[in-house]
Structure 1
Amino acid sequence: MASRSLATSSVLLLALALTADAATFSIVNNCKDTVWPAALPGGGARLEPGQTWPLEVPADTAHARIWARTGCSFDGNGRGTCETGDCGGALVCTVSGKPPATLAEYTLGNPDYIDISLVDGFNVPMSFQCGGKGPSCAADINAQCPAELKVPGGCDSACQKFGGDTYCCTGPYTTNCPPTNYSKFFKGLCPDAYSYAKDDQTSTFNCPQGSNYQVVLCP
Structure 2
Amino acid sequence: MVRKANFLIRNNCPYTVWAASVPVGGGRQLNSGQQWTITVNPGTTQARIWARTGCNFDGLGHGRCQTGDCGGVLQCKGYGQPPNTLAEYALKQFNNLDFFDISLVDGFNVPMEFVPTSGACTRGPRCTADINGQCPNELRAPGGCNNPCTVFKTDQYCCNSGSCGPTSYSKFFKDRCPDAYSYPKDDATSTFTCPSGTNYRVVFCP
Give deviations 1:158-211, integer Å, cap 9, x for gaps.
00000111111123xx1x311000000000000000000000000000011100
Distance 2:170 2:123 in 1: 24
What TM-score, normalized by structure 1, do the two folds share?
A: 0.88
Please say if 1:112 is aligned against 2:112: no
For the residues of structure 1 that align with 2:160 and 2:172, how far apart are their CA atoms? Answer: 20
More divergent stretch after superposition (132-141 vs 188-197): 132-141
1:38-86 deviations in whole A, cap 9, x for unaligned?
0002100000111101111112211111000000000000000000000
Which consecutive unaligned segments of at least 5 residues does structure 1 have?
1-16
One-letter amino acid of the structure 1 residue matched with residue 111 of structure 2: P
2:17 pairs with 1:35: yes
Counterpart residue number, 2:194: 207
1:22 correspondence with 2:9: no
| Displacement after TM superposition at 1:22 (Å) | 1.6
Q: By how many angstroms is 1:133 displaced?
A: 2.1
Matched, 1:95 2:78: yes
Match status 1:147 vs 2:133 = no
Higher relative contact order (CA 8 A, sep 6+): 2
Q: Which residue pairs with 2:31 in the alignment? A: 48
- The 2-side partners of 1:151 and 1:75 are apart by 25
Query: Which structure carries more helix by proportion?
Result: 1
Structure with the larger strand share = 2
How big is each residue's C-alpha offset from its partner over 1:76-131, in whole Å with a ceiling of 9 and x where there is no partner? 00000000000000000001100000000000011100000000000000010103
User: Which whole-Å CA distance do the structure 2 matches of 1:30 and 1:96 have between them?
Assistant: 23
Q: Which residue of structure 1 aligns with residue 113 of structure 2?
A: 127
Q: Deviations over 1:7-43 (max 9, x none)?
A: xxxxxxxxxx6xx622110000000000001000210
Q: Secondary structure at the match of 2:39?
A: strand
How many Å separate the matches in 2 of 1:106 and 1:130?
Answer: 12
Query: 1:130 is matched by which residue type in structure 2?
Result: P
SS at match of 2:172: helix
How high is the TM-score relative to the length of structure 2? Answer: 0.94
* Distance in 1 separating the partners of 2:113 and 2:153: 28
Are 1:189 and 2:176 counterparts? yes
Letter in structure 2 aligned against 1:87: C
Q: Which residue among 77, 83, 89 is the counterpart of 2:66?
A: 83
SS at match of 1:31: coil
Aligned to 1:158: 148
Q: Distance in 2 between matches of 1:217 and 1:26?
A: 11
- Aligned residues with identical type, % of pairs: 61
Q: Extract structure 1 runs of 4+ deviating beyond 3 A.
A: none
The gaps in structure 2 that reach 5 residues or longer are none
Secondary structure in 2 matching 1:21: coil
| C-alpha distance in structure 1 between counterparts of 2:195 and 2:160, whole Å | 33
Q: Distance in 2 between matches of 1:89 and 1:177?
A: 33
Aligned to 1:124, the other structure's residue is in SS state coil
RMSD over aligned Cα atoms: 1.0
